[in-house]
Structure 1
Amino acid sequence: MSEASPTAKNAVFLTGSTMRHVIIMTTTSAIGLMSIFFVDAITLFYISQLGDPSQTAAVGRAAYVLAFIIGMSVGFMIGTSAMVARAVGAGRDEAAKSYAGTSIISVAIFGLLLAGLGFLLLDWLMDMLGATGEALDYARTYLYIVLPSTPFFAIGIVTMGILRAHGDAKRSMYITLVGGIMTALLDPFFIFVLGWEVVGAAVVSAIVRVSFAALGLYFVIGIHKAITVPKFRRYFKDLIDILKIAAPTVVTNLAAPVGAFLIARAVAEYGDAAVAGQSVVDRLIPLAFGVVFALSGAVGPIIGQNFGAMQMTRVRQALIDGLIFNCVYILIAWGLLFIAQEQIIAIYQAEGRMAIVIRLFCNVLAGSFLFNGMLFVSNAAFNNLGYPLLATLSNWARQTLGVIPFIYFGAMWAGLPGIIWGASIGAVIFGILPVIGAFWLIQRLTPDSKTPQETAETPETPEAAEATVS
């Protein structure tokens, strides 16, 4: 019998090298994911060229609010991707289309609710980040323009997950890559030529987010025909299935912006220059480590399809390959940041505490992403093996227990540098423990009555696979 189920003709991850799948999915997904953050990074760069620290800090503070929305949208995308990938892996194409349609409808409603919540909490969040005077006014203006585009952004992100679940990493990448190119071209015109400054940056961000939805829907509907609009009763059944993974995954993904918010709040005690430096760091992180962030979304469908076909040997190998890829990439990226730190400082015209924060990132904090990457890969396993609550617990432990005490005592020990050192040290323990848990879970889900090889050669029926997941 062949390794893959004959009905799972679209399940491209059931055969071939798992490392090859990891590399292709991660690199293409990373380009797409990095393009999302490139939109914010290039905007901050152009704003910094105005020479007004209050505008730079304002865009930085606004981004912390938008980070919550990004985290929630990506969480819903992961839930959608997991369910679609499982259905594809089990050869249930109609179910995969129904899940995709349900997710698009749901995330549009979800995006509207997120935008409304953002407006309600805006002033409170800005106060928490120490925004006053012009910096507060600029941040408000920016968010008033960008927040209404949230539903379009959320739809675009979910279509990326649907495409990846079908193995189309290339078109998934195109969605945000086009957005990054649009930002690079439109920002200078709106910010400098029209002289709109922060308003211009916000208008461009809103336009780009709408483009995410338009292009994503074209790919999944026009190219793949991967969506059907479910009937009323089926919609709620699908939504419950998706939310079993998406809800805890959204909660999981909220941990990262919460951790970033806590660090930013601590840094804000040292003034707008320090906040501006941290804002630059928060843009450099996804650009430098977007590949690592992409690991979770890229490894997930590989694990999901093979788990749907009950090929547990390949599930285990996908996890191992993801960890190896993470280690090699982090060491290279860290070295490049260390070498380029003075050039980065010059590009953003950083001085004083702003420059100190950037140097600490290049020298210290960047190295801690070796352990953050371990956490991301482990979360992909937890989510796609049907245990998303383990990913939730791991992420929140990292961003609370691994942040609050470390930055608190770090600040007491060495002030501003101590905050960065503390955040770095906290990553170590909370990166290693989830990896141990992921391997334990795979072993637990491997049937005792068969060897891993026998399991790979004799995949269970889709119904049996679903029973195992539930």
Structure 2
Amino acid sequence: MSKQASGGMKAVFTEGSTMRHVIVMTSTSAIGLMAIFFVDAITLFYISQLNDAAQTAAVGRASYVLGFVIGLSVGFMIGASAMVSRSIGAGDDEAARSYSGTSLLSAFAFGIGVAITGFLLTDWLMWLLKAEGQALEYARTYLYIVLPSMPFLGVGMVTMGLLRSKGDAKRSMYLPLIGGALTAALDPIFIFVLGWDVVGAAVVSAIMRVTFAALGLYFVIGIHNMVALPTAERFIKDLKNILKIALPTVATNLAAPVGAFLIAQGVADFGDAAIAGQSVVDRLVPLAFGVIFALSGAVGPIIGQNFGAVKMDRVRQALMDGVIFNAVYVMIAWGLLFIAQDYVVRTYNASGDMELVIRLFCTIMAGSFLFNGMLFVSNAAFNNLGKPLYATLFNWSRQTLGVVPFVYFGAQWAGLTGIYWGIAAGAVVFGVLPVIAAFALIKKLTLEKQQTPDAAPATT
């Protein structure tokens, strides 16, 4: 008799249509993810209404720096969530509360360290992004106001993970949604009514992060009673276990902000208007393709359950369905962006190189997400088939080897237009290769299972 039949948890993804599982899991996961990015999009929209490319570019440049912090926070959130969920599953509430306390204390302390580092490196990072004059002053001011709120961002992100580990997906989703609503309400007041411009945007961003943390703590402590302060000995033990999962995840997550930073460096050579356009693009990407970003996390459990059940045909089919879903979604999103590009340009009061960059995204770069999505789906296969380092390798290759030479030679060939053709070309190379590798890995594992007598799953 199988474990399922004897009363264990049912592996729901081992039955029924794999495509249906892919669609349902991806669409629900995308809501909370897109809400997080919506906050930055709102702020940039309001700043763009000032018709000052220097201020728009300043918020954009600062966001590339903050992107590293978010990548680090997400990695730590995943590590904390994994340890807490395991403890809850094992019925060890004491360990779960201890891990929760350790993760929150560590996230806050880590955020302080990141904020201090950010203060020390601000001018150097802005120099790398070619900020000068008034644009540099705006970016510096924005970062100096927002950086002190980084410890609260870390705490807020961890509370999201803790809520998910408890099974409270609803409140976990509420946190970024409330943050977006708060930003949408306060930005016009601080930017336009008070006349604080980029300073107002920074103040609202800081307020949102503090509120994010406070509300998250209320949910995990006040509602779920999930947190206990660990002893010093237990804190060290908990932190080691959390970092075992968090560090590899951080290594993978940091690839994306590094790639965005390298692209911004190439675009910055063409001035503040171009970097302002790229800042708009970086907000449009998660809003238009947040579903694709969610695809990796959604396909992963489907592949994992079927691999555990030794249903290798369904493992392969889940990967194939992910690739197909990605292709259909990207073609629809690309078509809508192409049609709506005039509206996007007007919305952000774009002209000159700022307008050119937005149009290049809507006509060329958006299509390259067909191949970015292939990478994301392949990552899900690697992570759930016991080869997470493959995901790390391909991610970093995509964001470095797939960016730097393509952007450089593209710029030499055709300026700004060449940069975006280069980005698209790099995506093709590092989208196709991981998919080929993922299918090859499944084929290899299938043969191994067939040659192992004990590989067949138990039957009822």
Q: TM over 0.5: same fold?
A: yes
SS in structure 1 opposite 2:349? coil
Shift of 1:51: 1.4
> After the TM superposition, which residues 215-234 of structure 1 pair with which residues of structure 2 at under 5 Å, given as runs?
215-227=215-227, 229-234=229-234
- Give me the whole-angstrom Cα distance separating, in 2, the residues matched to 1:239 and 1:439: 36
Amino acid corresponding to residue 452 of structure 2 in structure 1: S
Judging changes above 3 Å, is the alpha-carbon distance between structure 1 residues 417 and 217 closer, same or farther for their aligned structure 2 residues? same
**Where does residue 137 of structure 2 map in the other structure?**
137
**Where does residue 355 of structure 2 map in the other structure?**
355
- Give me the whole-angstrom Cα distance separating, in 2, the residues matched to 1:312 and 1:87: 26
Shift of 1:206: 1.0
Q: Work out whether residues 72 and 253 of structure 1, in 8 Å CA contact, stay in contact via their aligned partners in 2.
A: yes
Residue 160 (structure 1) aligned with residue 134 (structure 2)? no
Q: Work out whether residues 13 and 302 of structure 1, in 8 Å CA contact, stay in contact via their aligned partners in 2.
A: yes
Shift of 1:38: 1.3
Judging changes above 3 Å, is the alpha-carbon distance between structure 1 residues 133 and 362 closer, same or farther for their aligned structure 2 residues? same
Shift of 1:238: 3.6
Q: Deviations over 1:358-414 (max 9, x none)?
A: 111001111111221222233234345554332221111001110111111111111
- Give me the whole-angstrom Cα distance separating, in 1, the residues matched to 2:99 and 2:260: 32
> After the TM superposition, which residues 244-263 of structure 1 pair with which residues of structure 2 at under 5 Å, given as runs?
244-263=244-263
Judging changes above 3 Å, is the alpha-carbon distance between structure 1 residues 245 and 437 closer, same or farther for their aligned structure 2 residues? farther
- Give me the whole-angstrom Cα distance separating, in 2, the residues matched to 1:19 and 1:226: 35
SS in structure 1 opposite 2:254? helix
Judging changes above 3 Å, is the alpha-carbon distance between structure 1 residues 296 and 6 closer, same or farther for their aligned structure 2 residues? farther
> After the TM superposition, which residues 75-224 of structure 1 pair with which residues of structure 2 at under 5 Å, given as runs?
75-84=75-84, 91=90, 94=93, 99-165=99-165, 167-224=167-224
Residue 36 (structure 1) aligned with residue 36 (structure 2)? yes
Q: Work out whether residues 162 and 220 of structure 1, in 8 Å CA contact, stay in contact via their aligned partners in 2.
A: yes
Q: Work out whether residues 81 and 301 of structure 1, in 8 Å CA contact, stay in contact via their aligned partners in 2.
A: no
Shift of 1:332: 1.4
- Give me the whole-angstrom Cα distance separating, in 1, the residues matched to 2:16 and 2:230: 34
Judging changes above 3 Å, is the alpha-carbon distance between structure 1 residues 184 and 123 closer, same or farther for their aligned structure 2 residues? same
Judging changes above 3 Å, is the alpha-carbon distance between structure 1 residues 363 and 121 closer, same or farther for their aligned structure 2 residues? same
**Where does residue 276 of structure 2 map in the other structure?**
276
Unmatched 5+ residue regions in structure 2? none
Shift of 1:47: 0.7
Which of these residues, 454, 457, 460, is aligned with residue 455 of structure 1? Answer: 457
TM-score normalised by L of structure 2: 0.88
Judging changes above 3 Å, is the alpha-carbon distance between structure 1 residues 155 and 165 closer, same or farther for their aligned structure 2 residues? same
CA RMSD in angstroms comes to: 3.0
Q: Deviations over 1:28-83 (max 9, x none)?
A: 33222222221111111111111111111111111111111111112223334455
- Give me the whole-angstrom Cα distance separating, in 2, the residues matched to 1:384 and 1:165: 19
Judging changes above 3 Å, is the alpha-carbon distance between structure 1 residues 441 and 246 closer, same or farther for their aligned structure 2 residues? farther
- Give me the whole-angstrom Cα distance separating, in 2, the residues matched to 1:170 and 1:17: 26
Q: Work out whether residues 341 and 358 of structure 2, in 8 Å CA contact, stay in contact via their aligned partners in 1.
A: yes
Shift of 1:220: 3.7
Residue 267 (structure 1) aligned with residue 267 (structure 2)? yes
Q: Work out whether residues 245 and 388 of structure 1, in 8 Å CA contact, stay in contact via their aligned partners in 2.
A: no
Shift of 1:113: 1.6
SS in structure 2 opposite 1:402? coil
SS in structure 2 opposite 1:50? coil
Judging changes above 3 Å, is the alpha-carbon distance between structure 1 residues 392 and 372 closer, same or farther for their aligned structure 2 residues? same
- Give me the whole-angstrom Cα distance separating, in 1, the residues matched to 2:46 and 2:226: 38
- Give me the whole-angstrom Cα distance separating, in 2, the residues matched to 1:65 and 1:387: 30
Amino acid corresponding to residue 288 of structure 1 in structure 2: A
SS in structure 1 opposite 2:103? helix
187-196 vs 154-163, greater mean Cα deviation = 154-163
Amino acid corresponding to residue 131 of structure 2 in structure 1: A
Q: How many residues align?
A: 454
- Give me the whole-angstrom Cα distance separating, in 2, the residues matched to 1:202 and 1:193: 15
Q: Work out whether residues 259 and 399 of structure 2, in 8 Å CA contact, stay in contact via their aligned partners in 1.
A: yes
105-114 vs 414-423, greater mean Cα deviation = 105-114
Amino acid corresponding to residue 351 of structure 1 in structure 2: S
- Give me the whole-angstrom Cα distance separating, in 2, the residues matched to 1:231 and 1:12: 39
- Give me the whole-angstrom Cα distance separating, in 1, the residues matched to 2:167 and 2:280: 33
Q: Deviations over 1:84-120 (max 9, x none)?
A: 55666x7565465554444333222222221111111
SS in structure 2 opposite 1:415? helix
Q: Work out whether residues 28 and 173 of structure 1, in 8 Å CA contact, stay in contact via their aligned partners in 2.
A: no
Amino acid corresponding to residue 455 of structure 1 in structure 2: P
Shift of 1:262: 1.1
TM-score normalised by L of structure 1: 0.86
- Give me the whole-angstrom Cα distance separating, in 2, the residues matched to 1:124 and 1:354: 24
208-217 vs 52-61, greater mean Cα deviation = 208-217
Amino acid corresponding to residue 406 of structure 1 in structure 2: F
Q: Work out whether residues 146 and 203 of structure 1, in 8 Å CA contact, stay in contact via their aligned partners in 2.
A: yes
- Give me the whole-angstrom Cα distance separating, in 2, the residues matched to 1:450 and 1:85: 33
Shift of 1:246: 1.6
Unmatched 5+ residue regions in structure 1? 459-470
Judging changes above 3 Å, is the alpha-carbon distance between structure 1 residues 31 and 211 closer, same or farther for their aligned structure 2 residues? farther
**Where does residue 429 of structure 1 map in the other structure?**
429
Judging changes above 3 Å, is the alpha-carbon distance between structure 1 residues 172 and 75 closer, same or farther for their aligned structure 2 residues? same
Shift of 1:168: 4.1
Counting aligned pairs with the same residue, the percent is 69
Q: Deviations over 1:146-181 (max 9, x none)?
A: 111112212222333344445543332211011111
Q: Work out whether residues 299 and 380 of structure 2, in 8 Å CA contact, stay in contact via their aligned partners in 1.
A: yes
- Give me the whole-angstrom Cα distance separating, in 1, the residues matched to 2:263 and 2:203: 28
Shift of 1:261: 1.0
**Where does residue 462 of structure 1 map in the other structure?**
none
**Where does residue 293 of structure 2 map in the other structure?**
293
Judging changes above 3 Å, is the alpha-carbon distance between structure 1 residues 91 and 334 closer, same or farther for their aligned structure 2 residues? farther
295-304 vs 195-204, greater mean Cα deviation = 295-304
Q: Work out whether residues 76 and 158 of structure 1, in 8 Å CA contact, stay in contact via their aligned partners in 2.
A: yes
Amino acid corresponding to residue 57 of structure 1 in structure 2: A
- Give me the whole-angstrom Cα distance separating, in 2, the residues matched to 1:413 and 1:239: 49
Q: Work out whether residues 4 and 10 of structure 2, in 8 Å CA contact, stay in contact via their aligned partners in 1.
A: no
Judging changes above 3 Å, is the alpha-carbon distance between structure 1 residues 414 and 75 closer, same or farther for their aligned structure 2 residues? same
Q: Deviations over 1:215-247 (max 9, x none)?
A: 333334444555555554444344333323321
Amino acid corresponding to residue 449 of structure 1 in structure 2: T
**Where does residue 346 of structure 2 map in the other structure?**
346
**Where does residue 45 of structure 1 map in the other structure?**
45
- Give me the whole-angstrom Cα distance separating, in 1, the residues matched to 2:220 and 2:2: 29
Judging changes above 3 Å, is the alpha-carbon distance between structure 1 residues 376 and 352 closer, same or farther for their aligned structure 2 residues? same
Q: Work out whether residues 249 and 391 of structure 1, in 8 Å CA contact, stay in contact via their aligned partners in 2.
A: no
Q: Work out whether residues 278 and 354 of structure 1, in 8 Å CA contact, stay in contact via their aligned partners in 2.
A: yes
Q: Work out whether residues 28 and 169 of structure 1, in 8 Å CA contact, stay in contact via their aligned partners in 2.
A: no
Judging changes above 3 Å, is the alpha-carbon distance between structure 1 residues 224 and 177 closer, same or farther for their aligned structure 2 residues? same
Q: Work out whether residues 311 and 457 of structure 1, in 8 Å CA contact, stay in contact via their aligned partners in 2.
A: no
Shift of 1:269: 1.0
Q: Work out whether residues 326 and 374 of structure 2, in 8 Å CA contact, stay in contact via their aligned partners in 1.
A: yes
Q: Work out whether residues 126 and 136 of structure 1, in 8 Å CA contact, stay in contact via their aligned partners in 2.
A: yes
